[in-house]
Chain A
Amino acid sequence: MTELLVHTGGLSTTVQDAGRDGHYAIGMPPSGAMDQYSFRVGNLLVGNSEGAAALEATYIGPRLEFTDTRLVAVTGADTPVTLNGEPADTWRALPVGPGDVLSLSPVTGGARPYVAVSGGIAVPEYLGSRSTYTLTGGGGLDGRKLADGDRLPLGATEVPPASGRPVPEELRPGFPEVTEARTVVGLCSYRFTHGALKSFLGEPWKVTKDADRIGYRMSGWSLDFVPREQPHGAGSGPANVVDLGYPVGSIQVPGGDEPIVLLNDAVTGGGYATIGTVVSVDRDRMAQTKTGDQVSFVSVGLEDALEARRERGERLARVRELLTA
């Protein structure tokens, strides 16, 4: 079996695919690539199916050596890339052969680069997906992040090695100073005062150092709860509710300060009041923010969320067209 040699694993690099669906009811979150758009474009560039397993890095990417002829593409966060020490393009398929070494430098914009390799990362499936879920140690490479010296199995590839066209700038994600996260307000938003909702949606929040695949803790100010006699079973804290399901993307507010946006490896339920849910495509944007960045939550309705989804589908269709033209 051909392998990808991991010289250095980077800060926190994991195998991810489109996600592990259908196990939410036992408390298993979907995992999967956090920026699904960049991940999928990476796969399209190297001729894989859109959902093939790839590598998701965080801040500092890996250094990888190839052992056979492949195509590789780096997408997602802005990250200088070298191939055998020479600068190489991102958002473009690069042909590689045995002994070639791809190296990612620390990101200069965004947070998470993706490395897609033709044939895909062929770690065994766990409950129908190759995505890593580190909390219980399932999926990916032994359920953990990559370490120096690891060897990753690669799938068979039929794609002839050829350097493809680059994905044009307008089809790559931007990394603005303030990231807009469109949010459907609701769930337990009735627990928050009018003023709290206004400040939640008003000024941007700052991403704290507690920001990972499980969730992003944000800091800014305190949100007041509507006073009430707590319902039976909830617990006496004002943020306490009778434990309920947490949608992926939902925002919980323990203690009234530091809202937490739940992401791909998040807990699936719990007993803190939730104020709303970030629309699915804007989890891509959240994934590219990092500690110290600013995020503003913008209230939208269900139809806007569905429209955003359609738009992402169209952008992916344009990438597909460009690459096959």
Chain B
Amino acid sequence: MTTTAVTLPPARYEFGADEFVFVEIDQAMSLEANFKAMAITSALREEGLDGIVDICPSNASYMIRVDPERLHPKELVAELQRLERSQSEVAADRTLRTRVVDVPVLYDDPWTRETVLRFRDRHQDPEATDLEYAARINGFSSVERLTEALSGAPFIVTMLGFVPGLPFSYQMVPRERQIEVPKYVRPRTDTPERSFGYGGAFAVVYPVRGAGGYQLFGIAPAPVFDAEQRLPDFASGVVFPRPGDILRYRAIDTAEYERLRSEVDAGTFRYRIREAEFRPAEFLSDPDGVNRDLLEVLYR
């Protein structure tokens, strides 16, 4: 097993007008870039600088919202450049406390299929479903082979955003095994709540009904956003996923989907969650071994 070694370019600093600083670690996605974004944003959070409104780690970049009356965006950039130099590589001994979570998904479900068919005019391949298209361009012989690959290895949450609670997740497999699809040519104006989508190299669960540009592959019975905090997993906040969570999008059948939906409706559903120690450096040198261990911890 080999992973693609990634050497990161110098970060690129940009002003999102007067209230935002956007920092691109790399134009390409890699776990190295994500780990670096996480490391710099954690270090910044610990500094507790006055004038920082939001710290948003993203996939291969990050963004800071600043109150320019309290902190000049240029001073912030100087500080971020200092942090960039001090977080130059993934430290071998860096350990993250994280959660490994079982996220059930009904692939190829009737609700997203209906939506997919409604928006064919915005798609690269109006003749196929999103699943058929994704299977074909990724060299899978069938839709089933594609969903097996999606369900087969866990994903790490590399960014939250778009709408509250949406987890951008990147599959923890070497680059040559990454599944990749384009976003819709023009975004859809409608997406069912809890749709399981895929765009670029990222899987997501849409928290609420609304617009979306990702290919639609299935639907999750359990929410990632709960405004009323009705479910026990949402006791401490309206969103469930956190950056650094490791999610396994497990394929389920219709019967299990229905059963889990009624648990959600009754307010009794709980995600299967296991705490784990995750060492990015160890993962980068042996992804399949680390994945095996993580899934063993999850289903033990």
Contact = CB atoms under 8 A, between A and B. Distances in A.
B186 A243 contact: no
A135 B225 CA distance: 12
B170 interface: yes
A26 B239 contact: yes
A27 B239 contact: yes
B233 interface: no
Interface in A1-26: 21-26
A86 to B, nearest CB: 42
A22 B62 contact: no
Contacts of B238: 26, 127, 138
Contact of A245 (B15, B61, B186, B227): B61
B6 to A, nearest CB: 9
Given A136-B227, A137-B227, A254-B186, A25 B17 contact: no
Give the interface size bracket for A toward B: 35 or more
Contact of A277 (B20, B170, B207): B20
Interface string B213-256: 10000000000010100000000011100000000000000000
Interface in B188-215: 199-202, 207-208, 210-211, 213
Contact of B185 (A232, A242, A255): A255
A242 B160 contact: no
A204 interface: no
Given A187-B16, A233-B178, A235-B180, A267 B24 contact: no
Given A21-B53, A267-B161, A306-B68, A242 B62 contact: no
A254 B187 contact: yes
Interface stretch (A40-48, A95-103, A268-276): A268-276
Given A231-B28, A233-B201, A243-B168, A136 B18 contact: no
B16 A28 contact: no
Contacts of B211: 267
Contacts of B61: 242, 244-245
B73 interface: yes
Contacts of A138: 227, 238
Interface string A175-192: 000000001101100000
Contacts of A234: 27-29, 200
Contact of B208 (A135, A255, A272, A277): A135
Nearest to B64: A245
A271 B163 CA distance: 13
Given A233-B200, A277-B20, A279-B18, A242 B29 contact: yes
A288 interface: no
Most buried by A among B15, B29, B55, B72: B15
Interface string A24-37: 11111000000000
B201 A232 contact: yes
A202 to B, nearest CB: 20
Interface string B172-189: 000100101111011100
Most buried by B among A28, A245, A268: A245
A223 interface: no
B17 A280 contact: yes
A237 B213 CA distance: 12
Nearest to B52: A22
Contacts of B260: none
Most buried by B among A232, A236, A254: A232
B54 A25 contact: yes
B63 A244 contact: yes
B30 interface: yes
Most buried by B among A22, A26, A280: A26
Interface string B19-59: 11010101111100000000000000000000001111111
A258 B159 CA distance: 26
Contacts of B73: 302
A277 B56 CA distance: 17
A127 B166 CA distance: 18
B192 to A, nearest CB: 14
A24 B68 CA distance: 17
Contact of A309 (B18, B199, B225): B18
Nearest to A215: B211
B114 interface: no
A79 interface: no
Contact of A280 (B19, B58, B163, B182): B19
18 contacts: A25-B54, A25-B160, A136-B227, A235-B182, A236-B180, A236-B181, A237-B183, A240-B183, A243-B159, A243-B168, A244-B58, A244-B59, A245-B61, A245-B62, A254-B185, A255-B186, A269-B58, A269-B161
Q: What 8 A-B pairs come out closest when comparing CB atoms?
A: A233-B29, A247-B16, A245-B63, A269-B161, A231-B28, A247-B20, A24-B54, A233-B201
Given A233-B201, A277-B15, 12 more contacts: A27-B207, A184-B17, A232-B30, A234-B27, A235-B200, A240-B199, A242-B201, A244-B24, A268-B162, A269-B63, A269-B168, A302-B73
